[in-house]
Structure 1
Amino acid sequence: MPLRKVFVQKPKGSTPRHSVLASFVTTGDLRGLRAYLIILAASSAQNEQGWVTELDSLVWARLFDTDQHAVPAAARTAAWRTLSRLADKELITCDRTKGSRNIAVTLKREDGSGDKYTRPGVTDKDAYLQLPAAFWKKKFDEQIDMPGLAMLLAICAERTWSKFPAERMPDWYGWSADTTLRGLKRLRNLGLIEQRTRYQKAELTPIGSTMFYEYRPARIMRPAPQARPEGAAA
């Protein structure tokens, strides 16, 4: 599943750097974030209507887990409300089909601008991250919490070993140092990231260096070497 990196963080030189993802984290909307990711995953190909996926509202409810401990009518309503929150963020449009219980969801650009969606890597050169199908097939989406999911997207956006100093995260990504530390701990427990220890020179410290950690996605979270969005040019 490709996702433009601008959803996670705006490009260098932008003020502020944090982007749409921060709005999910600060409001604690885990269901909304999970729903958005599964919508992207379900929208694997463009059709005659564009990037539109139309499903029965109860199917959307199952995808969003709003059917758990709820009667069908309540599950459908909760699914619609979840979609409406995503529409308010200009990430999608959602329309109910007259005479049926179907809901048609149309993707918009991931930066929240409301612009028309295009598949990253196909019609443009926008940088994007990828979440492999294992994230859902292994049910990590059901085990992860908001701090963990936010940090997973941030780490996947870097792909290589990178450091995420907790004190810089409010400026870089828009969430707190505490959220960062809790997210990293959750990801380590789930085996979704790898961690390594590094040192850098610091002449004014007693030992002449300081220690820090770097992180990268675990193998199960890395896309296959040749993985590309459907329709990408060879």
Structure 2
Amino acid sequence: MTTTAPNQQDRQANKATGSDTRVALLKRSVRANVPLRKTFVQAVRGSACRHGPLKDFVTGRDLRALKAYLMIVAACSSGADGWSTTHDSAVWARLMDIQDTATDQAARTGAWRTLLRIQKRNLITCTRTGAKITVTLLREDGSGKAYDRPRGESEEERFLQIPASFWTKGYDQKIDLPGLALLLTIAREKNWSTFPAEKAPDWYGWSADTHERGLKKLLDLALVKRREHYTKAPLAPSGVVMAYQYTRTSVMQPRKSKKETTSAPAAGAATAKTAARSSQRGR
């Protein structure tokens, strides 16, 4: 009996990529939007320090771990498996795109080390059994407390939403660390808020330069848009001061449910009133 050797080119052409793996994970979790407590970006008002866990990813220049953490939230926050997800270490490596620049074993090791860095920040726990790695979510504030689904009933429970399109349309592969940090920051606030760079060190924990580069990256990728906003200033030479306000573009807006769509006219009126107010406030 004659056998045919596997076609190596066909195998490579049909091998799943990191993007394929992330999209498959999103489909399995059945999430149109990924919820993330706002305390990940910034602590609640009245806290001794306003910096959230996001600050450590930014100052540590750890884009890989930040992207991996957001995917973990996407995979676990449906609660189907008790806020946990288990995959072979090779799958974890592919989720992080490590396999593109490393051997199989090095990629597996790199994935485990990345997960340990996230665990060190008290955002997850991870265990390894043979080639399998199980990751369990903890609360997004870095307190180490057990995770539960955010309900939005108090300031500590309020959450932002990342649309699945961030991954399915490949923006996760185009964005850099300052851009991703600012995307989460803008998603945390109301539409058409201001984000003064000089406040970034106090409010978020990263530099004004990082802040400005993040805003520029988002504009370049068309993930946000901005407009000029003028405030009366009697002591200013022109009598007004101008600040830019930002909001997410449609591709980064959370997908609305049918119920939300039905009540859109009333919601739109409320949004217009909110946008008319100045967002010059201490966050």
Change (3 A) 1:44 1:90: closer
Q: Which runs of 5+ in 1 are unaligned?
A: 229-234
Greater C-alpha Rg: 2
- Counterpart residue number, 2:131: 101
Of 103, 127, 138 in structure 1, the residue corresponding to residue 158 of structure 2 is 127
Distance 1:45 1:152 in 2: 22
Root-mean-square deviation over aligned CA pairs: 1.6
Q: Does 1:116 align with 2:149?
A: no
Cα distance in 1 for residues equivalent to 2:92 and 2:230: 47
Matches within 5 A, 1:186-201: 186-201=217-232
CA distance in 2, matches of 1:203, 1:45: 52
Q: Which has the higher contact order (CA 8 A, sep 6+)?
A: 1
Q: Distance in 1 between matches of 2:88 and 2:258?
A: 30
* TM-score normalised to structure 2 length: 0.76
Candidates 91, 101, 104, aligned match of 1:59: 91
Match for residue 108 of structure 2? Answer: 76
Counterpart code for 1:104: T
Match for 2:58 among 22, 25, 39?
25
Distance in 2 (CA, whole Å) between partners of 1:15 and 1:217 is: 30
Aligned residue identity for 1:118: D
Cα deviation code 1:58-77 (max 9, x no counterpart): 10001111111211100000
**For residues 227 and 185 of structure 1, do their structure 2 counterparts lie closer, same or farther at Cα, with a shift above 3 Å needed?**
farther
The one-letter code matched in structure 1 to 2:87 is L
Decide whether aligned partners of structure 1 residues 215 and 227 sit closer, same or farther in structure 2, where only a CA change above 3 A counts: farther
> For residue 180 of structure 1, what is the amino acid of its counterpart?
H
Q: Tell me which residue corresponds to 1:180.
A: 211
User: Take 1:36 and 1:227, find their aligned partners in 2: how far apart are those partners?
Assistant: 29
Any stretches of 5+ residues in structure 2 without a counterpart?
1-33, 260-283
- Letter paired with 1:56: D
Q: Distance in 2 between matches of 1:209 and 1:227?
A: 42
Which of the residues 35, 40, 65 maps onto 2:68?
35
- What is the count of residue pairs matched by the alignment? 224
User: Quick check: 1:5–1:129 contact (8 Å CA) kept in 2?
Assistant: yes
The answer to whether the 8 A contact 1:194-1:215 is kept is yes
